[in-house]
Amino acid sequence: MLRKKFPIILSLACLSIFLLSSYVAFAQVFPQRWVSYKISSGKLDLAYNYDYVNSGAYSSAEVVAGANKWLNIGANVLLTPASYWSSDVILREVDYSTWLNNGWSQTTLAWTLQIAGSKPCSNDASTNVCTASDTITAAAIYINTAQAPGLFSGDKRQALVAHELGHAFSIAHNSVIGQDSLMKNGAWNDSRFSYTPTNPDIADVNSMYHP
């Protein structure tokens, strides 16, 4: 059922990817991979939708610009905007009261949930319940609108979209030393956080999806 593709989980308190977390990730990629029919000629080929990025906190253009950061940089991934039910990844803004009612941290900017069939992976590296035997069929990116405009720039909003999409691909936070990275642990509290994917990020994608 398509209805089950993006389970309504806004009433559940889930652990999450914290952009502001000081959590140290050991793995740079999660063990679970996207379903094989989403991989074309060695590239992860995902459609995404932003119908529910509609509060005015983020713009459609920022979502597209964030997604496009992954394109034409040597990463084996394709991202194409599509209608909601044709999409593999949906982005959804969540208002602050709903965010808090869900039990989600006030300071969390956004989090990404990979879904293997009907199984949510809860993919913080510390709580991820999916394994190499799980096959990702969808992902949802939840954005806390209270943390959006005024608190950071459009450049950061684009970077946040790109960062969360990285989690949707199955990239965890990294703790690479001496290199800038979009998927840096601690994200932009880290001086080496990059607003665009860099070589470590591209290498992580290409370690999972390649010809």
CB of residue 125 vs Zn ion: minimum separation in angstroms?
A: 10
In this structure, what are the phi and psi dihedrals at residue 110, rounded to the nearest 5 degrees?
-170, 160
According to the binding rule CB under 5 A, does residue 90 interact with Zn ion?
no
CA angle at residue 174 from 170 to 178, to 5 degrees? 145
According to the binding rule CB under 5 A, does residue 139 interact with Zn ion?
no
Nearer to Zn ion, 58 or 86 (CB): 58
**Which range binds Zn ion by CB under 5 A, 9-17, 31-39, 59-67, 118-126?**
9-17
According to the binding rule CB under 5 A, does residue 171 interact with Zn ion?
no
CB of residue 48 vs Zn ion: minimum separation in angstroms?
A: 17
Q: In this structure, are strands 43-52 and 89-94 parallel, antiparallel, or unpaired?
A: parallel
162, 182 Cβ separation under 8 angstroms: yes
| DSSP 8-state symbol, 195 | S
* Near Zn ion by CB under 5 A: residue from 17, 90, 116, 130: 17
CB of residue 173 vs Zn ion: minimum separation in angstroms?
A: 5
52, 93 Cβ separation under 8 angstroms: yes
CA-CA distance, 36 to 44, in Å (whole number)?
Answer: 9
According to the binding rule CB under 5 A, does residue 53 interact with Zn ion?
no
| DSSP 8-state symbol, 171 | B
**Which range binds Zn ion by CB under 5 A, 12-20, 35-43, 85-93, 126-134?**
12-20
CB of residue 129 vs Zn ion: minimum separation in angstroms?
A: 17
83, 49 Cβ separation under 8 angstroms: yes
**Which range binds Zn ion by CB under 5 A, 13-21, 39-47, 50-58, 195-203?**
13-21
Q: Binding residues for Zn ion, per CB under 5 A?
A: 17
